[in-house]
Amino acid sequence: MMKIIRNKYFTVIWTILRVWLGYQWLTAGIEKVTNPAWVGSNSGTAITGFLKGAVAKAGGEHPSVQGWYASFINNIALPNAKIFSYLVPFGEILVGISLILGALTIVGLVAGAFMNLNYMLAGTTSTNPNLYTVAIILMAVGASAYVIGLDRFIMPSLRKKYGKGARVKNEI
């Protein structure tokens, strides 16, 4: 199995998936940053509506939002909606850039998967399960996901500076 994952042809497939995933994050973040209901004069408006909709899904016999997550929304997210209104779009943009460039890829994948998980916990399906699954697959293939990318150069220097850590093969 490891031979398949590390195969140079599969490395191209992992790179295409990584860049596609990054593009999804980047475009979602840019869309939010250019919307005044997310960032700007009316910041907090869009996320407040989203979060209130999530809390409404926490009731009933078969809630799509768990009670503990609704409590998190009510006690932490809603009172800090303006902060989250900036964190979400700029976080999406940073994840997108990370994945497109293949720079700190694992950090970008973990952050993106964490955001997808939160969106799903808030009762939103949309493309989140697809994006989450691709992120998990790319995390599972490890360095093969970023051999073609800036991590090919970043990771060896980080390993040299901070110790053992992730290894990146310098050949395709």
Does residue 52 fall inside a structural domain? Answer: no
Say whether pLDDT at 16 is over 80: yes
Contacts of 108 (CB under 8 A, 6+ apart): 22, 94, 95, 97, 98, 99
Does residue 80 fall inside a structural domain? Answer: no
**pTM for this model (two decimals):** 0.87
Residue 162 pLDDT class (50, 70, 90 cuts): confident
Residue 144 pLDDT class (50, 70, 90 cuts): confident
Does residue 171 fall inside a structural domain? Answer: no
Of 39-43, 108-112, 154-158, 159-163, which range is least confident?
Answer: 159-163
Cα–Cα distance, 108 to 52 (Å, whole number): 28
Domain count along the chain: 1
Does residue 81 fall inside a structural domain? Answer: no
Give the domain range for residue 94. Answer: 2-40+86-162
Does residue 169 fall inside a structural domain? Answer: no
pLDDT given at position 2: 59
Both tokens of 120, joined, read 């799903």
